[in-house]
Structure 1
């Protein structure tokens, strides 16, 4: 067991010595002294995970349990302890008979709450996630256990006590929890459209850990399909965790679960609930009052007991990767949790990521897809149109910045219903260049990129905000600019001129629409902000495909296909989708044929040949050049590891004002079965630097989303 830090003198209390007769006046002298403590008679040693960010202190420490706290100091509760002459929070994870530490132990200062908020399953999962992502247990626990609200705990305890008293006379067969009564047979519902769907539900109903990678059919039925799968799991008396990208998806699944399970049988956990309400719902899960949870990425650690199913929707969305250390991804956490707790798994989406394809090829999960006949009944017709060659055919098309095929399709479809235009970038004119030589337009003061923020605005710098009304190109002395990247607001203006009789609605970061009426209108939305039309869109136009495909990113084509499929799935069956990209590209052909599985197979095969993730595992080390090199010099890499770099982090243009040199990044690559050895080496190096008092300023990310 780890050694203990030096305690403060006032915190050291041992067994009381022999009784002595107090001298005269001693009562006044001893009135302010703390009473001597004695340890608990049973399991007097507590192992506490202290809330400290230092990597070399990432282990439990032993403390004595005072007899006065014997009943409250239960495993999983929150405590306060003295640590290095400071009072810190922590979690009591275990109580034992004796400590391996030979010195004198401190007593626990106080039990913050006797509520066992850290369950053994979540503690085990948190340790595994910390090892997998080269982080500390405390970092993961901050993500897994929400902050305490004492008032909410008291309210919940009072409500639970009252309901418990009423249940003494209630029917023991009617508990209100799914799975405790005889459940009717599971109706396949939307799963009848998939050849393996009924057998998947049957396995969940029987409590077997069925695992599938699901390519959902177009349309809004995906939330109902998730609810049916959860209902089959609940009918077996087991719990479920559903993780989705955002609040809109949470609302859709929340409504579907209420319809399938009934009211009060599940909870939704989202950040916009507020700390108190979120903690209130989280306590319901902890106390077993509900066994089904739906939420965003934070819900993956929900303390559901007897977990039978984990669900992840749209696993390719970047928001599933947590932005707090150690940066875990919801897909990896849920897969680890399903494996450790013997639960089923459903990883679904409109498309299929290479990470999900890897699970299929490894045999961990099976594909769950519809046959081609069913797909033809549900999917719209997809057509591809080139960019520049089409623009010269139609004067109106040139003014609206789209191929003539797209404009013609939109005009015809707008007679019968709403038409969706997906624009990859928000804003107005986000990137400008010289109209003569095509050199990027930059600020004369700080060399930042110039952009136009509105229809009547002058070009201004995106870094310092300086207006550049008299700009001249330093290369050719030209004074005219052209737009390189056109945002959603400028596109809405152009479409308003092309369709003067129709209402143009926009949906993006400033205002995200949830639904639009089923009457003719134009909807301009950025990816992920597309509203739902009641009967589906009559058509969709996916603009500026080059902006998605030409990004310097390993996942550029994968991400472009995901955004296209998500938008195309909102179009009614038989409608038309026009994508503004070259038809001969393999990724475009995957959209035209509606074949996300085929694209994932090809993409993964190419990455296996080239040694790119997810065929291999990678970790990135990013920071100031000296910090990156110091850490790399101290890491004892496994023999199979490849060191790539370090190189400066790619950034368009010069450094920002006030910055020194650009940060550097190094990539460490190992075979997938050696990721544990790599993360262990990184943790050891981080702990060694922390123990020496060195500043730990290099950021380590395992499985980074962007490596190119």
Structure 2
């Protein structure tokens, strides 16, 4: 990356030390030694001496004079001659820190991988050849441009204004959209064909695709290889080691890599001439960084698209309330398929309770975890030599236990965590899901009983049950650390957790994907019963994603939701109207004054540390304080608190209207900086618009 070198008359560098400390998240002046005057530029990483130790820092600006009255320390050395953070990226980092009440060095850590000298020495890929030359084929570039564009128009032909939108993206129009895919169509394919067409036809356009998991990244990469070579696809995920990751980062930085596919941290990859950002599975929790400042890749992508004047496209069978708000605000357009066409691709979707007689016979009869309707659907698909998908909400064998007499939840005597049964068999002993301690002889705290029952049945137990119910049928498990990418197109039962559903291998070479003969969603009450603001939205999304993997009704496809058909969320799935479902979810959030209709900050800590923060913060006049209350179950403790102090953990919700979001983030950031200078300030964590409020 080349930039104009600053004049020698600017001997002072204003730098941001990468310290990760709130009260030191500001710029400091250092003098530039004479030997470095011609090399140090804004955006480079240097080493400076700060408080007696050497630390990394980012050069933000070169200046003639300093506001500091005393003498300036010199920069110790230049880490790398590469400009790793230009002014546009630093401006984006600044905005993100302000909005998320975070520290800029934490965002820099996410955006810029650590330097690796061996990667710098290896240089760019293919001896520095351009992205076009990396194709390595005798196929003319004109033919590649034509075929990718033709395939993109064909893929979007059924969508309202689909070909017109493809044309606008290729011509560089910053026109953002939410694409709702057809049932049976792979969202990764739509993302790949649009990206390939833009990269080949967009006048050296850069394209960035962000996916929630490695599995989706691999699918996108496989589709992309229809139009580009493997050398032209740059993947940025946690699977790469430090050397490979930094070398790929340099390839992106210097403009060689124009087609980048990665997980959440790739959203800040420095793609040059960025014209298209695609986000897959935009409401997936995997897109949220678990480290401070807990950024959501969807929100980062939107800010980045605005900063770069690029198009932002979200692709999936479902739409979140956040995306719906952007659509209603005129910031995105909705692209979908006419309902008659959608109906042709849908399987028959059925639920329990279509009549009072059926509800009484199936939902309340003994041993009805796999109701008669679901059992017949599985048997019918197997008899037709089709695979069957069974979706279960929880991993493990029995992830929750309760007293067999009074049904009181079984808790650990050491940390009060929930007890689980890790495996089948008489020798299996209940253990704590939080601390891992064996429960030994269980004694109910309410009635003194010593026996337990399974209150929640997990994936492993479901495999056992279906193995007994369908002897001789292969049972395939996918979830946790063992996620299957693809299963063969033959009679089998696939038991998967949400998000781990494998694709079915295509029946012939002309098919892009294979589809299941039937799908059954078990234990829907677990998803709907979560104490979570997004419980209904997540349930609808998970069920729609599973049902979209099933054959159309005309080909015998059937999906069964083992829930009461009168439930509103079940009706949303049966009607298959993701647009109306998103509108309804947004309307309910507006009524309750919760995100995205309002902005909230979750402040976690002790009662004293939370009170201290609020006393220091100059909050907007429109601020509402809700709580503090106990930390919601399942939410990890703030740093500085151990499990023995879990009972003292509290959460305060700070709520403001959406227009005061930046003011709230700035106030909380400033208050945290002041707290950091105090001794014994206590544990505290601030999350803006958390995925899970409680």
Same fold (TM over 0.5): yes
Partner of 2:614: 632
Partner of 2:625: 643
1:646 match: secondary structure: strand
Deviation at 1:265, TM superposition (A): 2.7
Q: Deviations over 1:315-373 (max 9, x none)?
A: 11101111111111111100001111111110122111001100111110011111112
CA contact (8 A) 1:430 1:452 kept: yes
CA contact (8 A) 2:148 2:227 kept: no
Given the alignment of the two structures, is residue 604 of structure 1 paired with residue 570 of structure 2, yes or no?
Answer: no
Q: Which runs of 5+ in 1 are unaligned?
A: 1-38
State the distance in 2 between where 1:370 and 1:601 align. 17
1:620 to 598, 602, 621: 602
2:653 to 660, 664, 667: 667
Deviation at 1:268, TM superposition (A): 1.1
Partner of 2:236: 269
Cα distance change on mapping 1:693 and 1:110 into 2, 3 Å: farther
State the distance in 2 between where 1:272 and 1:432 align. 36
Given the alignment of the two structures, is residue 186 of structure 1 paired with residue 138 of structure 2, yes or no?
Answer: no
Partner of 2:378: 410
Partner of 2:526: 547
1:135 match: secondary structure: coil
Cα distance change on mapping 1:294 and 1:631 into 2, 3 Å: same
1:438 match: secondary structure: coil
Report 1:166-565 matches (<5 A). Answer: 186-187=149-150, 188-234=153-199, 235-237=201-203, 238-386=205-353, 393=361, 399=367, 401-415=369-383, 416-443=385-412, 447-456=416-425, 457-462=427-432, 463=434, 465=436, 467-468=438-439, 470-534=441-505, 535-565=514-544
Deviation at 1:176, TM superposition (A): 12
Deviation at 1:103, TM superposition (A): 2.4
CA contact (8 A) 2:125 2:251 kept: no
Deviation at 1:54, TM superposition (A): 2.2
CA contact (8 A) 2:206 2:274 kept: yes
State the distance in 1 between where 2:429 and 2:359 align. 26
2:662 to 651, 666, 676: 676
CA contact (8 A) 2:363 2:371 kept: no
2:157 match: secondary structure: helix
Rg bigger for which structure?
Answer: 1
Partner of 1:658: 644
Q: Deviations over 1:55-84 (max 9, x none)?
A: 222122111212211333122221111112
Cα distance change on mapping 1:319 and 1:466 into 2, 3 Å: closer
Given the alignment of the two structures, is residue 75 of structure 1 paired with residue 42 of structure 2, yes or no?
Answer: yes
State the distance in 2 between where 1:194 and 1:202 align. 14
Partner of 1:142: 109
Cα distance change on mapping 1:649 and 1:279 into 2, 3 Å: same
Cα distance change on mapping 1:44 and 1:467 into 2, 3 Å: closer
Tell which deviates more after alignment, 294-303 or 469-478.
469-478
Cα distance change on mapping 1:492 and 1:469 into 2, 3 Å: same
Cα distance change on mapping 1:258 and 1:473 into 2, 3 Å: same
Q: Which runs of 5+ in 2 are unaligned?
A: 1-5, 506-513
Q: Deviations over 1:267-302 (max 9, x none)?
A: 111111212111111111101012121100011001
State the distance in 1 between where 2:309 and 2:11 align. 34
Partner of 1:29: none
TM-score under structure 2 normalisation? Answer: 0.90
1:370 match: secondary structure: coil
Q: Deviations over 1:498-537 (max 9, x none)?
A: 0002011111113111111111011111111111112211
Partner of 1:8: none
State the distance in 2 between where 1:341 and 1:705 align. 26
CA contact (8 A) 1:642 1:668 kept: yes
Cα distance change on mapping 1:448 and 1:266 into 2, 3 Å: closer
Q: Deviations over 1:423-456 (max 9, x none)?
A: 0001111222233322223456665433221111
State the distance in 1 between where 2:308 and 2:138 align. 24
CA contact (8 A) 2:159 2:335 kept: yes
Report 1:113-128 matches (<5 A). Answer: 113-128=80-95
Partner of 1:19: none
1:700 to 680, 686, 689: 686
